[in-house]
Amino acid sequence: MDRRSFLFGTGTLLLSQLLAAGCNSQERAKLRVQLLKGSLPNQVLQKFRTKMQQTAHLEFASVEQVGSLFGRLQSWQQNSQKPTEEDWRSRLPLPSWLKPQNPNPANLVTLGDYWLAAAIRQNLIQPLDPAQLSQWSQLPNRWQELVRRNQAGQFDTKGDVWAAPYRWGYTVIAYNRDKFKPLDWKPQDWGDLWREELRDRISLPNHPREVIGLTLKYLGSSYNTENLDRVPDLIAQLSRLHQQVKLYSSDTYLQPLILGDTWLAVGWSNEILPVMQRYRQIAAVIPQSGTSLWADLWVNPTQANSDRALEYQWIDFCWQPQIARQILLLGRTNSPIPLQIEPDNIQAELRPLLVPNEHILDKSEFLRPLTSDAIQQYQALWQGMREKS
């Protein structure tokens, strides 16, 4: 064999190996998941990686805010509608895995239930097939009803399944134990927010549905009341509550509570539970008359191009009882899958927030989409309340 023949032969061999490697990588299914930072324990992600390492290529990316994830859904849809300039490399006779690729949307994305209606109306996501989810039947009715919606994003028991919940929690009352010791009482329900001792001592979310909603609950109405004009004393009670407030914040309310600048804060259990573990002076309670619920969901972007079977595997994995247990015990947040947990496995101070009280849960509500007229009422009432000195 002469030198030229040898070089040609080895070059052909190397190229064939390279093409074979490309084909093998192409054969592995891909799953790209963008999830809310901290919404799942690392142990859960690692366990799924170990399970799928021989059959799938997995990419998990965490994002700080749910709003950013919603923005990405919008961006992917907008990009899909723009004509792309043809790249000169796309005309070359190369295998598909060597051709330039446009950025693809993730296969699954975390979305809060509050954003679900907008995502449906804007055609940002596509329905899931519950028949492909082996654990679907294990979900209690409240979780199935949460994600069954019509094309307008409204709750509909005959609608499509638009998402899969994987964790949930409450809007709760957090308080500084040290500040309440001289008062000789502890917060138990929404009505405590109106006590004179707490004037200029509390923080509330910068969120009209939450603040007006808790006031409605205090008055015996629903968080999802459509016609606010029919609720007696609502404006007067909101005015009184406003006088109690030191600050409105949805993201910087915990530090003032820790430092004692505020004595009580209304916030979300997933944010407050880690603070309770770190700062012993912080406690929390779920209001006895019921509260608002929230859930984080898996949604499938409209433009996602993937093997749906792998997406369903991931959702089912999150719903397996042993994984749901890890989400609760390690992630300090609730799973929609019913679990039998020994109370001793949970820190005593955290149990009320992690072991559901069915009596309170039955009186609690998700924030449902409102009609445009109702939204205007809420916004007008919120603005009018905040403008008062």
- Looking at residue 27, its pLDDT comes to 63
Q: What is the pLDDT of residues 236-259, one digit of tens each?
A: 999 999 999 999 999 999 999 999
Let me know whether 372 and 250 are in one domain.
yes
Residue 276 lies in a domain: yes
Is there a domain that residue 55 lies in? yes
**Structural domain includes residue 14:** no
Q: Are residues 33 and 87 in the same domain?
A: yes
Residues 285 and 372 grouped into a single domain: yes
Domain count along the chain: 2
Q: What is the distance between the alpha carbons of residues 57 and 55, in angstroms, rounded to a whole number?
A: 7
pLDDT digits (tens, 9 = 90+) for 127-163: 999 999 999 999 999 999 999 999 999 999 999 999 9
CB atoms within 10 A of CB 98: 12
pLDDT score recorded for residue 16? 41
Query: Does 24 map to a domain?
Result: no
* CATH number of the domain residue 56 falls in: 3.40.190.10
Residues 54 and 125 placed together within one structural domain of the fold: yes
3-state helix, strand, coil in the chain (%, to 5): 50, 20, 35
Structure confidence by residue, pLDDT tens digits, 307-338 = 789 999 999 999 999 999 999 999 999 999 99
Specify whether 124 is located in the same domain as 233.
Answer: no
Q: Do 201 and 67 share a domain, yes or no?
A: no
| Residues 265, 174 share a domain | yes
**Does residue 220 share a domain with residue 181?**
yes
The pLDDT-based confidence of 103 (bands split at 50, 70, 90) is low
Domain encompassing residue 174: 170-294+349-387
State the pLDDT at residue 308: 86
Planar angle of CA 265, 379, 68, nearest 5 degrees:
65
In this structure, is residue 12 part of a structural domain?
Answer: no
Q: Does residue 183 sit in the same domain as residue 261?
A: yes
Per-residue pLDDT at 10 exceeds 70:
no
| Sole residue written with tokens 């509608």 | 81
For residue 387, what pLDDT band results from cuts at 50, 70 and 90?
confident
Q: Are residues 178 and 308 in the same domain?
A: no
Please, what is the average pLDDT of the chain?
88
Residues 77 and 151 in one domain: yes
Question: Which of 293, 292, 285, 266 has the alpha carbon at shortest distance from 187?
Answer: 285
The amino acid present at 265, given as its one-letter code, is: A
Answer yes or no: is 381 within a domain: yes
For residue 326, tell me if it sits in a domain: yes
The mean pLDDT of 74-96, rounded to a whole number, is 60
| 6 in any annotated domain | no
Both 285 and 155 in a single domain? no
* Residue 17 predicted with pLDDT over 70: no
Strands (E), 230-350: 245-248, 264-268, 282-285, 292-301
CB 173, CB 287: distance < 8 Å: yes
pLDDT tens sequence across 342-352: 888 898 999 99
d(CA 311, CA 190): 41
Confidence at 386, pLDDT banded by 50, 70, 90: confident
User: Is it the case that residue 85 has pLDDT exceeding 50?
Assistant: no
